[in-house]
């Protein structure tokens, strides 16, 4: 079995979710690496979109910013924030990858503040950026994050970005476009989806070397179990080779 | 139309399009030279208490020279559009230029980390924030550009971002669906950095436009900083390439490397070493103070700042990096 680190397995697992011909809105870092890997490994016609306006670039290297010149290098179009988000709002974008400081059992994300007092927060984080927009409009939202009980919490301090809100049909009732919502949560320990009725997070696959208990121990709320929990396929030699040599040779992301 | 829910954030600008029309009615449409020094433009059009927005995204095509000048001139009490503001936000935080901010993305530096000085300023309680999203602020500028008081959208629902915004949720009169209304945002002044402009302000943006098309229309006053002045003949030779027409523009300042240390598409890549230095010196307040004196307060202008950070040799290396020539050079 190949040797790989935490970031590498998350990126490889995430990349397998992106089928050829799909559209995906990504940011920098791990999500971008996953999209690049998918494009090089199995989905050459994956359309990568960056919220600042880059459409389907042939990325020469990992971008540092979702608006830097790499995001529209040999792209089909250098457009605008409104154009990209309008395209998501019209229903043309299949996937997006997000992260955050905190996530709850319904996949709601916090990237705004830690603390009780909004006016004088203990920690101020960036805010939504385009995350709230992407999660509102893209059909399937995926999250890549480390499994950690400080991240997976009973209640997020601030709902920056909508998941399934308070579960069941609360998301649809809120006014968010029908048929959208959190799809999969990819961590270093496993893969979660959401139980269809309650919309609570449930484990569907465990990464090599871990057990359900390990995942639960690193989660601040009770996880549901899928009827048949799979064993995550570890990164293949081919995936690792592309990831290390073509996607991220300077180890900006996989070296973290 | 019945309002179903409303955010409790404060609107920092008036969304009334008739007030904006009265302003624009008086704005000069004369095609005359607006070329001036950046110092003069900031002194003339950026005032204490005004609502400020800058073009670009993060550290990409952002008018950094103008941000330094605003800090040097000691502007205070401004409101600011934090529409993915990164290095610009960090600079303006240093000067404590603003005390109100519409937030889409602040404090962070994308893949480079979080800015300690920006965080400290936001955590001090001195700044009133109102939460939005990137599309939220883009939509607000678009409403202003259209001359309407708001536009509807389908984001923000169900979140604390909405509760801390100044948006409203209504029932759509056509479909009965719930809709978020984004109020028009007319900044008092905007600064946009471009690759080329003529003396009248006809400006060309190459690469992604981000939200600068709508921003140029929404802003009451607009300062263009440009890598190069070009002739009006050149503009007229290729009108398809004009991104911003002259009648939106109040000042044109030629500032070569005006987005440094950020990226300027097709011109130069970001200076990652210098941006890392900005982060590392913040660990020691005394070092940071000296760093700011050396790089902002003691510099008479942006050219001196560039001279102090590697000068033309550095700019050439960043140009090679932007054009990916460094790869060809190392392969050769």
Tokens describing residue A51 = 């919220």
Residue A1 lies in a domain: no
> How far is the C-alpha of B91 from the C-alpha of A25, rounded, in Å?
29
User: What percent of chain B is modeled with pLDDT above 70?
Assistant: 100
Helices assigned H by DSSP within A65-169: 81-89, 131-137
CATH number of A106's domain: 3.40.1080.10
Residue A2: predicted pLDDT: 73
> How many CB pairs below 8 A link A and B?
203
Question: What confidence tier does A1 reach under pLDDT thresholds 50, 70, 90?
Answer: low
Tokens describing residue A191 = 């893969």
Three-state SS string across chain B, please?
CCEEEECCCCCCCCCCHHHHHHHHHHCCCCCCCCECCHHHHHHHHCCCCCEEEECCECCECCCHHHHHHHHHCCCCCEEEEECCCCHHHHHHHHCCCEEEEEECCCCEECECCECHHHHHHHHCCCCEEEECCHHHHHHHHHHHHHCCCEEEECCCCCCHHHHCCCCEEEECCCCCCEEEEEECCCCCEEEEEEEEECCCCCEECCCCCECHHHHHHHCCEEEEEEEEECCHHHHHHCHHHCCECHHHCCEEEECCCCCCCCEECCCECCCHHHHHHHHHHHHCHHHHHHHHHHHHHCCCCHHHHHHCCCHHHHHHHHHHHHCCHHHHHHHC
Residue A174 lies in a domain: yes
Residue A255 lies in a domain: no
Closest-CA distance, A2 to chain B, in angstroms, reads 28
* Rama region for A111: left / alpha / beta (φ>0; ψ in -120 to 50; rest): alpha
Q: How many CB atoms lie within 10 A of CB B313?
A: 8
Residue A130 lies in a domain: yes
Does B261 reach chain A within 8 Å, measured CB to CB?
A: no
Closest-CA distance, B45 to chain A, in angstroms, reads 27
A117-171: pLDDT as tens digits: 998 899 999 999 999 999 999 999 999 999 999 999 999 999 999 999 999 999 9
> How far is the C-alpha of A111 from the C-alpha of A123, rounded, in Å?
10
Residue A140: predicted pLDDT: 98
- Scanning the structure block, which residue is given the tokens 């599309």? B135
A183-221: pLDDT as tens digits: 999 999 999 999 999 999 999 999 999 999 999 999 999
Does B260 reach chain A within 8 Å, measured CB to CB?
A: no
Q: How many CB atoms lie within 10 A of CB B47?
A: 15
Residue range(s) defining the domain that contains residue A150 = 6-247
Residue A86: predicted pLDDT: 98
Residue of B24, B270, B133 whose CA lies nearest to A126: B133
Is the distance from CB of A213 to CB of A147 less than 8 angstroms?
Answer: no
> How far is the C-alpha of B116 from the C-alpha of A125, rounded, in Å?
11
Q: How many domains does chain A have?
A: 1
Report, as an integer, the average pLDDT of A96-125.
Answer: 95
- Residues 6+ away with beta carbon under 8 Å from A97: A14, A24, A25, A26, A27, A30, A31, A34, A35, A141, A142, A143, A144
Residue B327: predicted pLDDT: 82
At how many degrees (to 10) do helices B272-280 and B87-94 cross? 40
Cis amide leading into B261 (omega within 30): yes
Selecting from 3.90.950.10, 3.40.1080.10, 2.120.10.30, 3.40.50.150, what CATH number does the domain B3-270 have?
Answer: 3.40.1080.10
Catalytic residue among A51, A149, A238, A246: A51
Residue of B193, B181, B162, B150 whose CA lies nearest to B55: B193
From chain A, pick out residues whose CB is under 8 angstroms from the CB of B169: 175
Q: Is B324 in Cβ contact with A127 (below 8 Å)?
A: no
> How far is the C-alpha of B42 from the C-alpha of B304, rounded, in Å?
18
Question: What confidence tier does A179 reach under pLDDT thresholds 50, 70, 90?
Answer: very high
Q: Is residue B237's pLDDT more than 80?
A: yes
Residue B332: predicted pLDDT: 60
**What CA–CA distances, in Å, run from B256 to A136, A227, B194, B208?**
40, 63, 10, 20
Report, as an integer, the average pLDDT of B25-49.
Answer: 98
* Residue A51 annotated in active site: yes
Provide the whole-model pTM.
0.97
B274-292: pLDDT as tens digits: 999 999 999 999 999 999 9
B159-173: pLDDT as tens digits: 999 999 999 999 999
Instruction: Please name the member of A52, A137, A160 whose beta carbon is closest to the beta carbon of B160.
Output: A160
Within 13 A of A155's CA, how many CA atoms are on the CB side?
4
Q: Is B164 in Cβ contact with A81 (below 8 Å)?
A: no
Q: Is residue A239's pLDDT more than 80?
A: yes
Report, as an integer, the average pLDDT of A89-116.
Answer: 96
Q: How many CB atoms lie within 10 A of CB A223?
A: 16
B299 Cα distance to chain centroid: 22
End-to-end CA distance of chain B: 67
Residue A71 lies in a domain: yes
Instruction: Please name the member of A28, A64, A159 whose beta carbon is closest to the beta carbon of B160.
Output: A159
Note the ipTM here.
Answer: 0.97
A25-83: pLDDT as tens digits: 998 889 999 999 999 999 999 999 999 999 999 999 899 999 999 999 999 999 999 99
Closest-CA distance, B114 to chain A, in angstroms, reads 8
> How far is the C-alpha of A124 from the C-alpha of A212, rounded, in Å?
33
Q: Which B residues 39-58 touch A at CB under 8 Å? A: 56-58
> How far is the C-alpha of A63 from the C-alpha of A50, rounded, in Å?
10
Report, as an integer, the average pLDDT of A90-112.
Answer: 97
Tokens describing residue B309 = 């950070």
Q: Which helix (H) or strand (E) holds A188?
A: none
> How far is the C-alpha of B29 from the C-alpha of B25, rounded, in Å?
9
Q: Is A119 in Cβ contact with B134 (below 8 Å)?
A: no
Interface test with B, best of A50, A77, A127, A253 (most B CBs within 10 A): A127
Phi, psi of A104 (to 5 degrees): -110, -175
> How far is the C-alpha of B77 from the C-alpha of B96, rounded, in Å?
8
Q: What mean pLDDT is reported for chain B?
A: 97
Q: Three-state SS for A172?
A: helix
Is the distance from CB of B265 to CB of B60 less than 8 angstroms?
Answer: yes
Closest-CA distance, A38 to chain B, in angstroms, reads 21
Q: Which helix (H) or strand (E) holds A24?
A: strand A23-26
Instruction: Please name the member of B58, B169, B327 whose beta carbon is closest to the beta carbon of A65.
Output: B58
Q: How many CB atoms lie within 10 A of CB A235?
A: 25
Residue of B302, B193, B301, B206 whose CA lies nearest to B249: B193
Q: Is residue B331's pLDDT more than 80?
A: no
> How far is the C-alpha of B36 from the C-alpha of B22, rounded, in Å?
26
* Rama region for B47: left / alpha / beta (φ>0; ψ in -120 to 50; rest): beta
Residue of B200, B213, B198 whose CA lies nearest to B244: B213
> How far is the C-alpha of A43 from the C-alpha of A60, rounded, in Å?
17
At how many degrees (to 10) do helices B87-94 and B64-72 cross? 10
Task: Give me the torsion for CA of B180, B186, B190, B195, rounded to 10°.
Answer: 60
Q: Which B residues 96-125 touch A at CB under 8 Å? A: 103-108, 110-112, 114, 119, 122-125
Q: What angle do CA B302, B303, B306 make, to 5 degrees?
A: 90
Closest chain A CA to residue B117: A124
Q: Is residue B205's pLDDT more than 60?
A: yes
- Scanning the structure block, which residue is given the tokens 């996949």? A107
């Amino acid at each position: 079995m190949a040797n790989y680190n935490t970031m590498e397995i998350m990126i490889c697992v995430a990349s397998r979710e992106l089928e050829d011909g799909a559209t995906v809105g990504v940011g920098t870092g791990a999500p971008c690496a996953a999209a690049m890997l998918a494009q090089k490994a199995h989905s050459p016609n994956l359309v990568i979109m960056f919220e600042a306006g880059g459409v389907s670039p042939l990325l020469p290297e990992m971008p540092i910013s979702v608006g830097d010149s790499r995001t529209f290098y040999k792209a089909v179009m250098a457009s605008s924030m409104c154009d990209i988000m309008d395209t998501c709002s019209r229903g043309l974008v299949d996937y997006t990858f997000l992260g955050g400081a905190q996530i709850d059992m319904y996949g709601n994300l916090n990237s705004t503040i830690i603390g009780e007092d909004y006016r004088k927060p203990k920690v101020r984080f960036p805010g939504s950026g385009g995350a709230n927009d992407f999660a509102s409009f893209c059909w399937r939202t995926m999250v890549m994050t480390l499994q950690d009980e400080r991240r997976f919490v009973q209640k997020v301090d601030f709902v920056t970005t909508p998941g399934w809100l308070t579960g069941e049909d609360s998301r649809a009732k809120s006014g968010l476009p029908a048929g959208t919502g959190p799809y999969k949560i990819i961590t270093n320990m496993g893969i979660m989806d959401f139980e269809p009725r309650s919309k609570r997070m449930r484990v569907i696959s465990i990464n090599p070397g871990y057990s359900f208990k390990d995942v639960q121990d690193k989660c601040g709320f009770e996880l549901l179990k899928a009827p048949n929990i799979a064993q995550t396929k570890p990164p293949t030699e081919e995936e690792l080779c592309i990831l290390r040599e073509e996607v991220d040779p300077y180890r900006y992301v996989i070296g973290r | 139309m019945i309002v179903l829910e409303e955010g409790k954030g404060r609107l920092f600008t008036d969304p009334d399009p008739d007030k904006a029309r009265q302003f624009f009615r008086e704005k000069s449409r004369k095609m005359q030279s607006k070329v001036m020094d950046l110092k003069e433009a900031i002194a003339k059009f950026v005032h204490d208490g005004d609502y400020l927005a800058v073009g670009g995204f993060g550290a990409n095509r952002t008018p950094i020279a103008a941000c330094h000048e605003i800090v040097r001139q000691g502007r205070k009490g401004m409101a600011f559009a934090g529409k993915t503001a990164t290095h610009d936000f960090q600079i303006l935080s240093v000067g404590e230029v603003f005390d109100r901010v519409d937030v889409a993305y602040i404090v962070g530096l994308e893949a480079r980390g979080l800015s300690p000085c920006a965080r400290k300023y936001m955590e001090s309680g001195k700044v009133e924030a109102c939460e939005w999203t990137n599309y939220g602020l883009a939509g607000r500028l678009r409403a202003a550009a259209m001359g309407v008081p708001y536009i509807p959208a389908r984001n923000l629902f169900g979140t604390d971002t909405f509760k801390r915004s100044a948006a409203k949720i209504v029932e759509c009169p056509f479909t009965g669906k719930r809709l978020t209304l984004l109020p028009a945002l007319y900044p008092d002044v905007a600064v946009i950095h471009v690759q080329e402009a003529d003396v009248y302000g006809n400006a060309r943006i190459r690469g992604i436009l981000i939200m600068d098309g709508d921003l140029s229309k929404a802003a009451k006053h607009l300062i263009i900083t440009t890598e190069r002045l070009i002739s009006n003949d050149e503009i007229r030779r290729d009108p398809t390439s004009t991104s911003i027409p002259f009648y939106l523009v109040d000042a044109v300042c030629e500032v070569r490397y005006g987005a440094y240390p950020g990226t300027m598409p097709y011109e130069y890549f970001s200076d990652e070493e210098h941006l890392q230095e900005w982060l590392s010196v913040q660990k020691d307040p005394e070092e940071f103070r000296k760093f700011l004196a050396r790089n902002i307060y003691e510099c008479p202008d942006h050219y001196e700042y560039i001279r102090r950070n590697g000068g033309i040799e550095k700019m050439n290396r960043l140009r090679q990096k932007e054009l990916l020539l460094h790869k060809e050079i190392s392969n050769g």
